[in-house]
Amino acid sequence: MRLSRAIDRLFTLFAATIARVAGQPAAFVVAFALIVVWSVTGPVFGFSDTWQLVINTATTIVTFLMVFLIQNSQNRDAAAMQAKLDELLRAVEEARGQFIGIEHLTDAQIEEIRAALEDEAGTGGRGGHKSAPHDSVERLLNRY
């Protein structure tokens, strides 16, 4: 159990670091520069199959690994946000606690809840079109 927890922490640290670095403008500049260098070397290598294979292999490997790192970061961020929202629902007296955990429902069930909330708020939802959703946003903005 300790090893698993240590691996999780290490991977989380690694994934967060890579996501942070890869999301910086400098990372884009470096990637762009590598593509430019590769392009410029085309005539030197006679646009050979090996020359093409280098960029194809490199980009495939980077893309493959980044998919997992990005998904991990998104899952972690979404879970943290959901926990924060659940805590707000729990802490606010007027909030309806039955909304805690609805992220585990199916898409259809969540859509039904969303439509019911829109109906309750007077924005229509799926069934009736009392007013467009932007009308309720407009009313909210006019309060301030």
Candidate from 43-47, 73-77, 81-85, 138-142 with smallest mean pLDDT: 138-142
Candidate from 45-59, 75-89, 111-125 with smallest mean pLDDT: 111-125
pLDDT(127) > 60: no
H or E stretch including 31?
A: helix 25-40
Average pLDDT of 83-103?
A: 90
DSSP 10: H
Q: How many CB atoms lie within 10 A of CB 111?
A: 13
- Domain residue ranges in the chain: 2-100, 105-144
Residues 6+ apart with CB under 8 A from 15: 69, 72, 73, 76
By the 8 A CB rule, do 121 and 136 touch? yes
**Vertex 56: Cα angle to 52 and 61 (nearest 5):** 150
The tens digit of pLDDT for each residue in 14-37 reads 998 998 999 999 999 999 999 999
H or E stretch including 7?
A: helix 2-22
Amino acid at 139: R
